[in-house]
Amino acid sequence: MLVNEFLILGALLFCLGVYGALTRKNAVMVLLSIELILNSVNINLLAFDRLNGNSEGSVFALYIIAVAAAEVGVGLAMVLLIFRNRRNISLDDLSEMKG
């Protein structure tokens, strides 16, 4: 198999995730798109792991999975807090930090 099959698939999923993160208004949907991005990166890491044959890509993929789990936990807690204070989670309304 060509390594490019995996790399192009990873690039496509990454760009889909970027598109989703930029267009979505709902904070949970933005987090979903970020998960898509992290998954595409993992595909790349494991393809290169197979190509180089030294198993280090697997280690980094596992680390990324753990970081993604931490990110989702904190992210959803923040979304929940925003929802509790404002009754909606539209990111366009969160403009207090704009100068």
Burial letters for 33-69: b for 16+ Cβ neighbours within 10 Å, e otherwise?
A: bbebbbbbbbbbbbbbbeeeeeeebeeebeeeeeebe
77 binds another protein (CB under 8 A): yes
Give the chain's radius of gyration (CA, Å): 17
Contacting residue, 42, 94, 95, 97, with another protein by CB under 8 A: 42
Nearer to another protein, 55 or 99 (CB): 55
- Which residues here bind another protein, judged by CB under 8 A? 1-9, 11-20, 22-29, 31-33, 35-36, 39, 42-43, 46-47, 49-51, 53, 55-59, 61-63, 65-74, 76-81, 83, 89-92
